[in-house]
Structure 1
Amino acid sequence: MKKSILFILLYLTFINIQAQITTSINNVYLNSQTTVSNCNTLDFGTVQNNNLVFYYKLSRPSSLPSGTGTLRIMFKLNSSATPQVIGSPQNILDSFWTNTLYESTINCNLSASQVQQSGSSIYLEFETSGNIKTSSCSYPITKTLTPSFTLSPTSLSLPCGNTSSRTFTVTPANIPSGATVTYQWNIGNGWSGNVGNGNSITLTPTSATTLPSSVTVTPSINGVAQSSKTCTVSRPTFTTSATINGSNTLCASGIYSMNNLPNGVTVQSVSSSNTNVATVSLNSSNGQITATKVSNGTFTLSVVLQNTCSQTVTKTKSIQAGENANISITGLENGINAGGSVNISLTNSNGCGTITFTSASSGLTFDYVGPDYAVLSSTSSNSGTGWVYISISGGTSIYREFPINVIPPPVIPNSSYISVARIENNYNVYPYNQWKMVKAYYYGNSSDVTYWEWNIGNSYYAKPNDTSVIFLPSTSSNVTVNVRACNNNGCSSYVSTVIN
């Protein structure tokens, strides 16, 4: 019973406190100019950025134990929208109160873009430390939509040679009901067409090569001029797939021309990036470009092209004048064999350089000298180090040292070290006791012999490349056996032995 009475008392206390907390707005100061009270409409008019100062009053019964809480400015986009906090909340302490009242101000900024033309509202909400909320009345918010005008297009890229008609249109918005709207067009020079005071005009360029003026329109509402709108007219960047035709190498002089040059596009000028390397000139009658070498090096040929609208574009080509700086020779990487010869060739050459002078160390001679290669021979049989000096047209000289190699002669078996003897025959094959067997012996370096070659007259013989051979004489008379020792370098002379 006691618990029930206590619950009822607490509930009645909560209801009493909630019912007697009030939050009210005395007035709202709008944009430091207009005071609005009694929850009347806040009219933003055409102002975009709006400042609102709320003069508010909080009141409580003397029995309320504490006035501590938080005050917030709440905004609703429309009647069904969820309220959202605008600006910074204020924390209010109990010590701020004077007996049962607390009065102060709170402010916020609200953009016209955040509210609807009508239907938005704003109010204050106070929440006690016990999470009890009370709200003021709501102030409706309205705004006046600002008339606006959009010109289409805002920019026009008119290619050279294009004289197609173009339409320019103004789209109005938020025009007051019943207002009279007129348009004053300024088309400058280079356009033809009917220009009235309507919101759309169609114009045609009067020239394929002269750029017409930008187009400007000034709208007026009831005779009051609004902000002018302009469509900027320009040319797109002049581009072309034309390329410079000609060699990447300039030995003395060369002719260059333009590939894929469009109709109406001409060569306006040519230049060299380094006239100390090469000079260039233009034949205006046929468009050919002549480049002349001055010294070895790299330069850039620049060709300025111009279309009929006097727009220009520059094409470039990197060219090597004279021989490459890194020209070298090849053929002496392994030196030269004493008594032999090697071919020496130019390498990394672009074809401009030719051999103009050669010299070599003692025992070496040049048997042949051509534009891009030479034949060097050794007249000595001794090893050592040789050198060559080769001059190439254009001022490049190459000095190269290399070994002179002595190659030992190939080893061939010597017949003086060969002997042949008959040995016992174990070849017991029909016809029995008629087969004979001989063997060759080499008394020199055995590694010099890789295989043997036999030649036995009037006989049938087997295993002809072995050191021993079995043969069957066709007669009973003596048989001459010939044999020689061989390796990959050759064979000795034959050694002959008579076998009975």
Structure 2
Amino acid sequence: MKRIILLFTLLLSFAVYSQVTVTPQSLQYNNSGSPGVNVGGCGLIDLGASTSTSINFGVTLSKPDALVTGDGNVYVYIKKNAGSNAVLKQTIAIPSGSWPTNVTTSVVTVSASLNVVPSDFDPTGGLLFVTYTSSGGAGYTSCSYQVKRNATPEFKLAPSLLGVPCNSTISTTFYVTNVYNSPGTLVYSWIIGSGWNVAAGTYQTASNSYTLTPVSYPPGNITVQAKLAGVDYSAGSSIVSLAPFTSTATIGGISSYCTYPTASIFSIDAGAGNTVAWSISNSSIGTISSPSNSQVTVTSLTQGIFTLSALITNPCGQTVTKTKVVTVGAPMPLIDNYSCPTESAPCALNNPANNNYLIYNLSAPVGSYVPVSSDWEWDKISGNFYFLNNGLYNSATATGTQGSIYLTGANPTDNPAKFRVRVRNSCGWGNWRTYNWTDGTTTPTNPGNPPTAYFKVSPNPVSSYFDISLINPSVAPQTSSPKVIRIYGQYGQLLQNNTVFYGVGYNSYNMTSFASGTYYVSITFDSFSESHTIIKI
């Protein structure tokens, strides 16, 4: 054990002895040409109010003669403050031949000089120190000189930004910080804007704080000047504005109507002093009546979905909107990326099959109802195909929002693949919607068949009125029967069914009351029906 302790002691002694000691000494500094000031050891360098300071000192390096350092360098650094990065001010080369040999301790002394300015250091104090680095990369550091300078008085007003809630009577204390604790008698001039519990104006105090309460909204800004030893210093301003208006209010009421027309009351607690303006996104599906700041009556008109909105305004004119999505009746599903003119007319699917596979996705306005897989149904009507069910393409039915189909044979244009879909919500099952898909292998050849459409609608998109006219003036319906115009919503709900014309066109159909969106215009006479998609803007 004694041998181990002795060996450890020898190793420690060798490690300590095998070091380069870096010692700055005889430092003298001159502030802006003033007489030099000597600093012993690593003492204090006081720049005072100097605009430029020169610093000169010696650096002694010592090491054991046996320690080989090779060519090295002495580096002189300063730091703006103790936590900042070091800034290199001077580099002094120490060639390997500079070191005396055949001595117990080898010593080298060099001279360092640098110039600094006050901005090199923070008023709170900076550092000056020296390092030596050998050719092998070993580094050794000296002690550090503390460097201070006179601080220009600085004052800061807080808070710099203040958001005041509408009608709030909560007081705020504004205060000024003497950043560098500059000594002397201080007088503060508070320039107070209007809207506080004191009249707008300038107030002088010896206190560095002032408490104010708002009385009108938004109150004005606060600006402060501090006077120290007859000199004015700006402490800045506090910019005052209204705090953002928020509300935790929610619209209460049903999330769906299962029948129509049906009236129901929706309510909201908007907060004292606030007003409420009610609106509805689609007045063809629901209408509002008897609005107040606390409730409104909404009457459902037809199947679909609408958003009820409550615009809350506070006494300062700030607003926030609350919404509630409401469904009417059982929903009608749509295959994504395809539109259908009506609920009853079949929808044509025209996408090509991918190696005999077709995949479709359903969506429907289910509102707040959360459907499960069994709430979506797919049902084969006819054609050469099967649905995927339990991992096999052998089923005439399927559930879920996605329908995967495998084509087992041709589905020509005169005998397409045909299936139907429906969806259920809290009101029950909606109607079936039928879809057709064909591979185009054959087409009907009966020359006596009428065209798929006689009429066109224009303009499209439409902002107010549209006209109905013949696509080909030489091809007109050979009938004297009345032609009925019906308007359907995006999900197939009938919106209007009371317009009839007898000739070969209809002018100025009024859509000014319709909300922006996609609609379908159906024209029916005798056993013939055609449909047109129109965009309302």
Q: TM-score, normalised by structure 1?
A: 0.45
Q: TM-score, normalised by structure 2?
A: 0.43
Structure showing greater relative contact order (alpha-carbon pairs closer than 8 Å, 6 or more residues apart): 2
